[in-house]
């Protein structure tokens, strides 16, 4: 059933592929307990934390940067300070200040400073995402690693996450706002995806508000050939997500540089986790390889996807 998939995996840098339907493991490849860097999947983790805090009245997404007195090394203009936390959450701040922890692709796609007003243009920018980390800490008074442990990792029984070693703040030379990297095992990442598949519920506990799970994974912004974007989640748009594959409508994913992703496909009750050992320089599975891999997997599962 999975012979072609196995052959494909043997020719590329995939470290782990884990596929589950409900509580059943359909396919696994690699060491699911090995902890790997998460890269930009961290943003979907923070989105989930913001949803919890917002439900408790601790995080108001309508607040402007001006109201929160947030600025940066290259001073923000009066217009930029009108951007709201909602604008940042949807990557529509219009603020193209240099950011820490950016990939070459992020730097390439960033428009010139002051080209767009807040809310006017979608751009995948680490400035927005890093400042949301600052805002979270400021509004809740809680460190991100502590919040992730208390609100998510412990309630869903993550097995390998070690808060003091696997989540930290990483400053840089470009901005006052640090990144918040994570390291997670594939089986713990799968639990995070499963939590969203279950509309934020784990056993008898509502870990993340169901309304936030739904709203944060809506296709709010058009993201070209990468689909759409919600609240720090990549969302499928008309089948578009990766090249060479058609994804079921309603699918969404957390994605990280080098080929990391956690893909949730509610219409088929599937969670798919893919990891690469990006601790090794040059290790990568590119988006074309990912598209081909998913097409092979869907064929093996006899999933007919029309969009």
Q: What is the pLDDT of residues 236-271, one digit of tens each?
A: 999 999 999 999 999 999 999 999 999 999 999 999
Q: Which domain holds residue 263?
A: 3-300
On whether residue 306 sits in a domain, the answer given is no
Cβ burial, residue 26 (10 Å; 0-12/13-18/19+): middle
On whether residue 116 sits in a domain, the answer given is yes
pLDDT value for 303: 84
| CB-CB contact of 97 with 74 (8 Å) | yes
Q: Mean per-residue pLDDT for 193-204?
A: 98
On whether residue 203 sits in a domain, the answer given is yes
On whether residue 148 sits in a domain, the answer given is yes
147-180 exposure pattern, b = at least 16 Cβ within 10 A, e = fewer:
bbbebbbebbebebbebeebbbbeebebbebbbb
Q: What pTM was computed for the model?
A: 0.97
Q: What is the pLDDT of residues 61-72, one digit of tens each?
A: 999 999 999 999
On whether residue 307 sits in a domain, the answer given is no
On whether residue 257 sits in a domain, the answer given is yes
pLDDT, mean over the chain: 97
Find the angle CA(71)-CA(72)-CA(75) to the nearest 5 degrees.
Answer: 80
pLDDT value for 272: 98
On whether residue 284 sits in a domain, the answer given is yes
On whether residue 305 sits in a domain, the answer given is no
- What CATH number is given to the structural domain containing 43? 3.40.710.10
pLDDT of 306 > 60? The answer is no
Domain count, the chain: 1
80 Cβ contact list (under 8 Å, min separation 6): 65, 93, 94, 95, 97, 114, 118
């Amino acid at each position: 059933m999975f012979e072609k998939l196995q052959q494909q995996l043997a020719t590329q840098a995939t470290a782990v592929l884990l596929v589950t339907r409900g509580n059943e493991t359909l396919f696994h490849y690699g060491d699911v307990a090995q902890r790997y860097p998460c890269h930009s999947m961290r943003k979907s983790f923070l989105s989930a934390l913001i949803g919890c805090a917002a439900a408790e009245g601790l995080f108001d997404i309508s607040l402007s940067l001006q109201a929160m007195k947030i600025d940066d090394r290259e001073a923000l203009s009066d217009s930029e300070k009108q951007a709201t936390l909602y604008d940042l959450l949807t990557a529509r701040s219009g603020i193209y200040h240099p950011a820490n922890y950016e990939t070459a692709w992020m730097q390439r796609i960033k428009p010139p400073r002051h080209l767009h007003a807040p809310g006017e243009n979608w751009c995948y920018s680490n400035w927005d995402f890093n400042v949301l980390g600052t805002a979270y800490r400021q509004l809740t008074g809680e460190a991100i690693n502590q919040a992730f442990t208390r609100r998510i990792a412990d309630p869903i029984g993550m097995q390998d996450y070690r808060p003091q070693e696997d989540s930290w703040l990483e400053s840089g030379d470009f901005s006052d706002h640090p990144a918040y990297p994570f390291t997670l095992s594939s089986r713990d990442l799968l639990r995070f995806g499963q939590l969203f598949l279950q509309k934020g519920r784990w056993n008898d506990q509502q870990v993340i508000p169901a309304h936030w799970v739904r709203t944060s994974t809506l296709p709010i912004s058009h993201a070209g050939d990468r689909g759409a974007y919600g609240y720090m989640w990549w969302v499928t748009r008309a089948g578009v997500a990766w090249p060479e594959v058609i994804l079921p409508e309603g699918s969404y994913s957390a994605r990280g540089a080098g080929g990391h992703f956690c893909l949730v496909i509610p219409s088929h009750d599937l969670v798919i986790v893919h990891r690469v050992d990006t601790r090794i320089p040059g290790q990568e599975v590119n988006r074309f390889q990912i598209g081909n891999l998913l097409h092979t997997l869907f064929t093996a599962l006899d999933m007919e996807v029309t969009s």
